[in-house]
Amino acid sequence: MTREKRMEPPRLSLVPPSSEDSEIASADAAEREQTGDSRHSGNVAALPFADHREKLRILEALLFAASEPLDESTLKGHFADEDDISGLMEELRAFYAGRGVNLVRVAGKWAFRTADDLSYLLERYAVQERRLSKAALETLSIIAYHQPVTRAEIEEIRGVTTSAGTIDILLETGWVRLRGRRRAPGRPVTYGTTDSFLSHFGLESIKDLPGLAELRASGLLDGNLPPDFAVPEPTDVAALMPDEVPLDDIEEDEEEASAQDEEPEAEDDEAGTDIASLPDEEEPDKP
């Protein structure tokens, strides 16, 4: 007679997780964190980094949808007063540093631009622009480095007469603007550069223009320069300088002057009417 075997429950043993399993678990956790797993949405939303990531997303959306560069004061209007917009923008710029689109700062404002090393891909879509003449480039350079500057001062620096059409072209491009008028006989108009000038040439401020050493290194200046030759420090102060007056003030002065010129004529007309209205036998008193 055979002995019946007793049924014994299987024995379970705990196996320590391998390194491969740990890596898989860590990857799953990181993926859930990036995608925002709905099962943990309540907990993730309460964490500080979730709010920080949301702020970066808001900045991305604003800059991507904007038709022109945005300054930090404009972006600040979408956040609380205690939010560090400058720090967020620097973090966002670092994030896009190695991508096909870079976040750059031009004219003190932020904008997305195609990476410089990939610009050749977009050459077929670029609009063919008319090249400026040598006279226009020289005039633009003088305005950029010497602003505020008048037409007479531009001609003195260039050594030749500057036609009105040259300055008109620069005004049409939007790179040059009328600042005001000089406190001098004739009240000549003063010229300066615009934010469009900085944006076109990729400059954060007018002070980023190349100096004497950089111009020499690039071959744009002749090596035989006078010993006292120097490149002025460019400045672009939005407010008028002490020797400038607003354009509107000059227009008001001209209107007042024209009104004063018309007043004596009216008096003469009245006097003439009185004389003509006298009877034929009467004559005005003579001295």
Are 74 and 27 a contacting pair, CB within 8 Å? no
| H-run or E-run covering 189 | strand 189-193
Cβ neighbours of 109 (radius 10 Å): 21
Tens-place pLDDT, residues 59-87: 999 998 888 888 888 898 888 888 888 88
Cα 62-68-72 angle, rounded to 5 deg: 55
Q: Which helix (H) or strand (E) holds 192?
A: strand 189-193
Please write the tens of the pLDDT for every residue from 7-53: 666 565 555 555 555 565 565 555 555 554 444 444 434 445 778 88
Average pLDDT over residues 248-256: 59
